[in-house]
Structure 1
Amino acid sequence: MLELKNVTTEIAGTTILRDVSFSVTKGSMVGLIGRNGAGKTTSLRSIMGLLKPKSGQVIINGTDMTKQGSFERAGMSIGYMPEDRRLVPDLTVEENIMAPAWACKLNNAEARLAWIYEMMPEVEAFSDRRALQLSGGQQKLVALARAMMTGTHLLLLDEPFEGVAPALSRRLVSVLSTLKDEGLTVLLSESDQSHSADLVDKAFQIERGSVEPLASLT
């Protein structure tokens, strides 16, 4: 489903990713583990096309997407949850969730929304509130719901548990476990394995922009 081959990415002339290679097989959940500044966000942004790699390849579902624009990913049924959520503050929760469906002109948007609300009924409960009225944890749930709208094949989740209260963290784990059971392919980043160890099928360690398989999930 996803493969990075020798990806090197620079930001403002500084090398952030160094010859990164790893793959995520279809239907699996994979962790990208590393401390802040290690390159997790740059990895996901490179996959999404928000940053253009200096060299290497980003292959998604067998297609080389390295030079393609970020908007092309949504058309490939990929959903992205950024670390900082990036909700539109003056839009309602439901409008934020539906925004990618409107942009991509999805034919099954209402059915997707119903599925999301069934998965996360608490989000439906505050669906008419504006995003700026939500707590940080609630915003994380909405950002995940928005990613799920287009991410029917692949979900990229950047630090989904960061800054979230324990109760909401457990709720996120429950939702991700259900998504895994439904066969979605998921790549998630985390600073440590405190939340993802029981979820992921395998994990990679990223340190100073270099990636290696993580020897243990315990």
Structure 2
Amino acid sequence: MLTVTDITVSIQGTTVLKDASLSVAAGQTCGLIGRNGAGKTTLMRAIMGALPFTGQGIFFRDHDLAEAKAHNRAEFGIGYLPEDRRLVPHFTVEENIMVPLWAAKSEDRARVKWVYDLMPEIGRFADRRAMTLSGGQQKLVALARSLVAGHQLLLLDEPFEGVAPALAQRLMEVVADLKSENLSVLVSDSDYTHSKRLVDKVYTIERGQVTIAPHSKAA
């Protein structure tokens, strides 16, 4: 499904990722565990086309992501939840959720309905502006937005960071429910507290270098 092979990313002359590799199979949930500053967000942003990289490449199914525009990820079925949510404050919740469909020039709202069925609480405040929501609610909206695009692959960057325990539990429930949808998921976290109950395979990242954890359930 997703294959990252020996990529290196430098930002302002500093190497942040060095020869990083990982893979996520169809229907598999993988964890990317590392401390703040280890390179988790950099790797996610490189996959999403927000940062240039060198190395063998990043491939999603039969797509060479180095050759694709950033907005093509939505067309490919890749959804992304950034660590800082990146909602448009003056848009309503539903307008924020619709952004990937607009990027893909799609009028198909079936996926939006599916998201509302999966996360009924989102539908209850669909008409509210994003800036009126709590930080935890905004995380749920950002997850909903990623799900609208991500019918093949989800990249979830620190989804549990800075969220109250009750909302973190809700986020975990939603991610766990995705296993029945055969989605591929890459979820980053600073430790195993939340993700250990969700993942099939675990990668660790330290100083920009990625290794597979020996206790992963699947290779």
Q: What range is the shorter-chain TM-score in?
A: over 0.9
Report the Cα offset of residue 168 of structure 1. 0.4
What TM-score comes out, normalization by structure 2 length? 0.96
The Cα RMSD (Å) is 1.2
- The answer as to whether partners of 2:156 and 2:188 remain within 8 angstroms in 1 is yes
Give the C-alpha shift of residue 217 in structure 1.
5.7
2:40 maps to 40
> TM-score, normalising length from structure 1?
0.96
The 5 Å alignment of 1:83-162 reads 83-108=83-108, 110-162=109-161
**Unpaired segments of 5 or more residues in structure 2?**
none
Residues 71 and 104, structure 2, Cα contact 8 Å, conserved in 1: no
Of 43-52 and 208-217, deviating more is 208-217
Asked if the contact 2:119–2:174 (Cα under 8 Å) also holds between the matched residues in 1, the reply is yes
Paired position in structure 1 for 2:56: 56
- Aligned position for 1:14: 14
Tell me if structure 2 keeps the 8 A contact 1:7–1:53.
yes
Structure 1: distance between partners of 2:77 and 2:22: 21
- How far 1:55 moved relative to its partner? 2.5
Mapped to 2, the partners of 1:25 and 1:217 lie a distance apart of: 14
5 Å matches for 1:61-72?
Answer: 61-72=61-72
SS in 1 for 2:42: helix
Separation of aligned partners in 1, 2:70 and 2:196: 30
**Residues 193 and 217 of structure 1 are in contact (CA less than 8 Å); yes or no, is this contact kept in structure 2?**
no
- Contact 2:30/2:199 (<8 A) preserved: yes
Name the aligned partner's letter for residue 205 of structure 2: I
| Aligned positions, number | 217
Give the gaps of 5 or more residues in structure 1: none
Question: Does the alignment pair 1:27 with 2:27?
Answer: yes
What displacement does 1:180 show? 1.4
Alpha-carbon separation, structure 1, partners of 2:153 and 2:106: 16
Offset at 1:71? 1.2
* Partners of 1:59 and 1:97 in 2: CA distance: 26
| Secondary structure class of the residue paired with 1:123 | helix
User: 4+ residue stretches of structure 1 with deviation over 4 A?
Assistant: none
Shift of 1:99: 1.6
CA distance in 2, matches of 1:103, 1:176: 24
Q: Give the partner amino acid of 1:9.
A: V
Q: Post-superposition shift, 1:63?
A: 2.5
Q: Distance in 1 between matches of 2:181 and 2:48?
A: 23
Task: Give the partner amino acid of 2:21.
Answer: S
Residue 55 of structure 2 aligns to which amino acid in structure 1?
A: S
3-state SS, counterpart of residue 38 of structure 1:
coil
- Once the two structures are TM-superposed, the CA of residue 216 in structure 1 deviates from its matched residue by 2.6
| SS of corresponding position for 1:79 | strand
| Aligned residue in 1 for 2:209 | 210
Pair 1:191 & 2:187 matched: no
